[in-house]
Structure 1
């Protein structure tokens, strides 16, 4: 075995759940990774909906999306919001997004996501079992709610795509829905129940547990603002931070929505956009669903958690630098009341975070083609929690030279 001085120095840029899972698997292999956590005020890991959804292989850009986007954009209370000042800047990304909705590209994206998400729940439990924190996972399934058959039919293409990739689902009528979730408004008469899906009851505690596991296995998590990746020739040499340069033999770029800014000086342009999401955390809503619920007409997630009830959702394309829009967060309370009319909404705390989204919904994973020692692990979009543990397992094995049985080609940064 190599001594510490002979071991390659692996630096993981990004202390969100994806970067932490990669580092955990590196630490498990004795590689002593250093994680640089910028503690961005709006990083996505702590505020997500908690859903762990291995069957979510349908990309956001599905056939027919072009007809829906203008209507959503023009509705100030709609699920998609782009401020007027940002329309011009968002246009190139939106054009790529619409172009990704072609049938062949949708199938390719679903195949890629299916390969990444295979065994997702088991990958999460692998980490949590080792850390003595399996109580963070709830295995009670998830449920999509519909007002009627016509509304469910609008999701037919997405549901069929998921079914073809092995997702087990049950169609429920009102009686079966009410048997599982009696407090749901009678306006919802149909549901799709996904019994094999799970959720995390406290995403913030999850990141703390994984970070603790990295330290336990000899790694380090340090606060630092990363300014650049320094190279010599065509290979990585160091990570430039606000506290000086850190020499590195291998670098994992897992900085979420900020990742493209660090790749650009290397001549690699990735169409990464932040889809700003919001949540409201209610300490005493008076209702406790047994699982994550998602009303199809509202496009939000209602998640029971350790600290209360979380309502999470909304897509706001407004860039990395604009302050949170409190009005977007408050709209979530109306979404909650549509499902639970008697829910109490007092005392709620709001939050906004940046989801790193690519137009084809496929993250960037694996080594850069033209730069030795630089690995990517970003762009998981709305499925960062779902994809974090399998990404960690795959990248950890690959960086350690184990050659995992996985094709990184569909995920390469150079595909753009």
Structure 2
């Protein structure tokens, strides 16, 4: 630890939930970070599904994923779609994605994810308890919905991987399902209940609460567009923004899907892709939902929130600059009706955001060997909210010289 006279000046690039959690833990340690947030219109933190899923250690690329690629390329209504104009851009990422589905790599990724996500609910609670905002958390579990045993069997590899890493789950028949969620459509006759998973009832307010805590503890949050990470020799010296330079001894890159663009001038190439996700928000759905529900045939999350019911999901490859595709958002209403045909959709609003995804499903975390003082915390994909609090605790602890009992090697940027 540093004494009060030689504390480093630390800039956190990115004010999404991961960057905010890193900054919160730095501020809690008295290090007074400066968060530079570009206020991207499609940042992921405000519109995610709200799921806190510490047992979701199965990577997206599982054995057999190669058979799914043709559908990804051709099915406009599929859960994952790549428009024809983006095929060439997406192909290098897809090839890495398919390669990462080899059994040995899947096991290694699951072990690494388990080491990061273990204790995530407790990490979220420690921040929110300090900030007096525990009401943001809902501890009612999550539930995967299945139409029959055959459909459940298709998920067995992923479920077994989660079990082996300690996730409790209960298999329910229709009667057990209805005891928890009586309004789910009769077509769903099986469920897997995850009692230890939870959710956040308002991800946007969560970010506001964490940001307020940073300021309260002496940190700053500035709005500016980052142009470059500045260097001298082989060390970072700060950042250049559209509002001037900010000198720093340490820079933490937590810019989500935009992170690769900032690393490229430093000679670091990262296969980071934006998987554009959508949600619809229903202010008065007319259905009672007690917890996060995920129908396996639809690959979406249905989440009760403090301002309505959110249906979130869909994966679209189209880059950082293309406008939202409203047709993708509207597909979510069909997903909702499959589970709750009686749901009211009047007043629904839609949203699109950029998930920063890497082909092996592991984020980039830890120090960058080639550049002294540069740290990374990005690429959490579909687990950004879940992974934000533990990432913040681990990265801040390491920066502060506390030597956390954690192996950053599987998450290193050098793995690419």
TM-score of the two chains, using structure 2 as the length reference: 0.99
CA contact (8 A) 1:170 1:192 kept: yes
* 1:69 match: 69
Partners in 2 of 1:346 and 1:108 — Cα distance?
45
* 1:233 match: 233
Q: Which runs of 5+ in 2 are unaligned?
A: none
| Corresponding residue SS for 1:54 | coil
* 1:329 match: 329
| Corresponding residue SS for 2:46 | helix
Matched, 1:403 2:403: yes
* 2:196 match: 196
Quote how far apart the aligned CAs of 1:71 are.
2.0
Partners in 2 of 1:285 and 1:69 — Cα distance?
35
Partners in 2 of 1:43 and 1:123 — Cα distance?
22
How far does the alpha carbon of each residue in 1:358-411 deviate from its partner, in whole angstroms, 9 at most, with x for none?
Answer: 000000000001110000000000000000000000001000000000000000
CA contact (8 A) 1:357 1:380 kept: yes
| Corresponding residue SS for 1:46 | coil
Partners in 1 of 2:73 and 2:62 — Cα distance?
17
Partners in 1 of 2:184 and 2:54 — Cα distance?
25
* 1:166 match: 166
How far does the alpha carbon of each residue in 1:231-279 deviate from its partner, in whole angstroms, 9 at most, with x for none?
Answer: 0000011201001110000000000000000001111100000000000
| Corresponding residue SS for 2:271 | coil
Partners in 2 of 1:73 and 1:269 — Cα distance?
25
Quote how far apart the aligned CAs of 1:70 are.
1.2
Partners in 1 of 2:299 and 2:363 — Cα distance?
22
How far does the alpha carbon of each residue in 1:332-379 deviate from its partner, in whole angstroms, 9 at most, with x for none?
Answer: 000000000000011001000000000000000000011100000000
Matched, 1:149 2:149: yes
* 1:216 match: 216
CA contact (8 A) 2:72 2:82 kept: no
| Corresponding residue SS for 1:47 | coil
| Corresponding residue SS for 2:221 | strand
* 2:388 match: 388
Quote how far apart the aligned CAs of 1:194 are.
0.1
* 2:110 match: 110
| Corresponding residue SS for 2:207 | helix
How far does the alpha carbon of each residue in 1:198-228 deviate from its partner, in whole angstroms, 9 at most, with x for none?
Answer: 0000000000000000001110111010011
Partners in 2 of 1:139 and 1:372 — Cα distance?
41
Matches within 5 A, 1:270-309: 270-309=270-309
* 2:7 match: 7
Quote how far apart the aligned CAs of 1:74 are.
1.7
Matched, 1:120 2:120: yes
Q: Structure 1 stretches (4+) deviating beyond 2 angstroms?
A: 1-4
CA contact (8 A) 2:17 2:388 kept: yes
Matched, 1:344 2:344: yes
Quote how far apart the aligned CAs of 1:2 are.
3.9
Matches within 5 A, 1:244-283: 244-283=244-283
* 1:42 match: 42
* 2:99 match: 99
CA RMSD, 1 decimal: 0.7
Partners in 2 of 1:64 and 1:358 — Cα distance?
18
Partners in 1 of 2:71 and 2:192 — Cα distance?
26
| Corresponding residue SS for 2:61 | coil
Partners in 1 of 2:133 and 2:237 — Cα distance?
37
Partners in 1 of 2:274 and 2:339 — Cα distance?
28
CA contact (8 A) 1:288 1:309 kept: no
Partners in 2 of 1:405 and 1:199 — Cα distance?
27
Q: Which runs of 5+ in 1 are unaligned?
A: none
Partners in 2 of 1:68 and 1:274 — Cα distance?
19
Quote how far apart the aligned CAs of 1:3 are.
4.1
Quote how far apart the aligned CAs of 1:83 are.
1.1
CA contact (8 A) 2:18 2:254 kept: yes
Provide the aligned length of Structure 1 versus Structure 2: 415
CA contact (8 A) 1:272 1:356 kept: yes
Partners in 1 of 2:139 and 2:250 — Cα distance?
36
